[in-house]
Each structure stands twice: as C-alpha cells, then as structure tokens.
Amino acid sequence: MPYDMNTEALRRRFQDSRDQFPHYGPFLDFWEKILQVQHRHMDQMELPVVPAADPRNLLKVREGFPLVPFQEAAVPPAALRALFMEILQTLGPATPKISPQLPLLTDWLSNRGLDFQYWLAQLLRDDGRAFVREAEACGLDPEILLFLFLASWKPFLKSQARALEQAAGFDWTVWSKGFCPVCGGPPLLAYLRDDGKRWGVCSLCEFNWNLPRILCPECGNADPQHLRYFFADGEKGRRVEVCDACGHYLKTIDLREVGWEPLPVLDDLLTTHLDLWAREKGFRRLSLTDQIV
C-alpha cells in the first residue's frame, strides 16, 4: 500500500519536523505546499479499475513482473495539465529559481507540455539527456521542468497504487524483488518496521513492499560481505546501506527508533545529509533519474 496522510496529519508531521529540524525550515515550507496540492488532486481522482481476478495479472506478480509499468500508467492530459499548473502557480511566484521561468513554463504547458507520453519518452531515452535537450530547446531549465514533471505525474501513479491496495486477490508476499511490484520503479528509501522487516517505498508511486534485508535493490547482490550500512553519531534510526558490488546506496529509516509516522518525501528530505555522505564516498543513489541534469 502507498503511505498516505490526511490533511491535518500532514500539517502536524511538517510542524513537528520544523520544531525538530529548524534548519530545514524553507525546504519544509516548499514541500508542504507541493504535498497539499497533490493531496487535493488525488482526493478528486477516480481510482482506476483493476481486474484483480485476471489470471494474467496474478501470474505477473508471481513471476516477478510489475503489474502496470510506469510507462503504461494512464494519465488524463487535462487532469495532468491542471495539476501541473496549480503546482506551478503555488510555487512559482515565491520560488526564486522558478519565478523567472514562470512565463516560459506557462507557455510550454499550453502547447507541447500536453504531450505527456512524448516527454516521458524523452526522459527514458539516452539516460535522460534527450529530455534535457528538448527542455533547453524550449528555453526551459531542464532541472526545473523535470522536477515539476515528476511532481505532477506522481499523484496519478499513487492513485494507481491505491487502487491496487484495495483490489482483492493479489498476494504481495511472493514479491522479493528490488523494484516496485506495481509500477517497476526503484525504491526512494526503506523503512524497518516493528517486526524488523525492511519495506521498500517506490520513488514513483510510493507503494511499499517487503524488501529482503540482505539484498541490494540495484544489482540483486545478497552477499553480506559486500553489503554494509553506516549512520551518523546519535542517529541509529536513520542510516545509509551501501553495496560494494555495484556502488549504489539506499537510505533506511528504523521506525522503532525515530518514533514518527512514515511520510516518504519528507523522510527523504530529512536524511539529505546521508545522501551527501554517500556521494562523497563515491556511492550512487538508486533512482530513475539519477543521471539526469
């Protein structure tokens, strides 16, 4: 199931984070606005119909194939445009990096921006460099366009994951891959729950699944001699797990130690220092777009 919160719980979690991590204040304000817009739109979305009893779907899960690959997710152009525009209008005027691009982005959205599948194809081509070239050809900052593109796309993927959570007949316990069983995305991070099991959280649809403790999600390495983890002093609840075989890392949060309710995007932000440490050591993050811009 995807992690989710109602509006009031979301507000409390962000306020608690401001109290505990005041140096993240501006970033917390920024992300709270985004999540509020995403939640409003998700509440208005009709969940897609999932034919759970279809033997082909059940077989895909058993055989280790994502049920609805993210490239095939249904995204209504008008709804995507409305979400993109609201995120842009909410962030743009008050965000120095986005504000100068506001007229160009609005114009882009009115024209080529409606062709979602085209831009997704560019994102997946040539390690994302095609997306960068196309954005620059439109006079846009590729990093800003990518961020807004992903922020607008995510609620549709989460809606799909929510529908699958409610569908009967799927046995997710048979899944032990390093990628999401719903859309095939890589994990954003992982949580350790009360039972000690590690649960991966998809970076795209936020579905979570049982991710074996001794497994690198990137290369499948299960040799404990090549899997290590590190944490900062006084932070046993937040750690970075690295694979010496492929050089990738995954951040993991032990919910038994931190005592907070999971909120993946926020928890990813509050562990930014682990990203910096891992990159300084030469490790790379598991990400659909880690080579882009």
pLDDT in tens, 9-46: 899 999 999 999 999 999 999 999 999 999 998 888 77
What confidence score (pLDDT) does residue 290 get? 45
Report how far residue 33's alpha carbon sits from residue 11's, in angstroms, rounded to the nearest whole number: 10
CA-closest candidate to residue 252, choices 197, 172, 175: 197
pLDDT digits (tens, 9 = 90+) for 221-269: 999 999 999 988 888 899 999 999 999 999 999 999 998 889 999 999 9
Question: 91-125 in b/e burial notation, b at 16+ Cβ within 10 A?
Answer: bbeebeebeebeeebeebbeeebeebeebbebbee
pLDDT band at 291 (very low <50, low <70, confident <90, very high): very low
pLDDT digits (tens, 9 = 90+) for 85-116: 999 999 988 888 899 999 999 888 887 666 88
Chain-wide mean pLDDT for the chain?
87
- Rounded to 5 degrees, φ, ψ at 228 are -135, 165
CA-closest candidate to residue 163, choices 190, 136, 183, 145: 183
What confidence score (pLDDT) does residue 63 get? 87
Residue 71 has pLDDT above 70, yes or no: yes
Of the candidate ranges 140-144, 170-174, 241-245, the one whose mean pLDDT is the lowest = 170-174
Q: What pTM does this model have? A: 0.89
The structural domains of the chain, with segments of one domain joined by +, span 22-170, 173-285
Do 70 and 183 form a contact (C-beta atoms < 8 A)? yes
Residue 71: alpha-carbon gap to chain centroid: 15
What confidence score (pLDDT) does residue 201 get? 95
Architecture of domain 173-285: Alpha-Beta Complex (3.90)
